[in-house]
Amino acid sequence: MILSLLRFIDWMIILPEDLEEGLDDDIQEFEEGKKMPYVTSWERRAEKRGLERGEKRGTKRGRKEGRIDVVFLQLEQRLGEIEASLRGLVEKLTLKRLDDLAVALLDFTEASDLERWLKRNNGKRRSVKVKK
């Protein structure tokens, strides 16, 4: 019905070329507006913050996964197959602890060295003594 009305109006009114182009632009803009609703400035800012947080979280997770892969590669090269229970404990370590393990494992000669290290460094913060 609306299309028929538009055809009738188009037949009745002949616009100058510059106005016809403007009308085409307005129609196209209107149609695009129907496809994508207006996004407010605070919604854009919130989306941007959300994307930044997600990117930061993903970067941190990627660094940790990469570190874990390298530590397991080193451990397996040094000690052979690592038990699943020990793997689970290593995967729970923070980035800082993974770095500490990467250095400590250079002195490991057997799996019990890894077990002892994990018991001592199970994610709890060690107290730091300050010299006075």
pLDDT, tens digit, 9 for 90 and up, residues 46-71: 999 999 999 999 999 999 999 999 99
Assess contact for 96 and 65: CB atoms under 8 A.
no
- What pLDDT does 36 receive? 65
* pTM of the predicted model as reported, rounded to 2 decimal places: 0.57
Q: Which residue has the higher pLDDT, 36 or 105?
A: 105
113: Cβ–Cβ under 8 A, 6 or more apart, which residues?
79, 105, 107
Residue among 66, 109, 72, 63 nearest 90 (CA) = 72
CA distance 99 to 101: 5
pLDDT, tens digit, 9 for 90 and up, residues 68-114: 999 999 999 999 999 999 999 999 999 999 999 999 999 999 999 99
Domain ranges of the chain: 37-123
- What pLDDT does 58 receive? 93
Q: How far is CA 120 from CA 38, 39, 123, in A?
A: 56, 52, 9
101: Cβ–Cβ under 8 A, 6 or more apart, which residues?
71, 90, 93, 117, 121
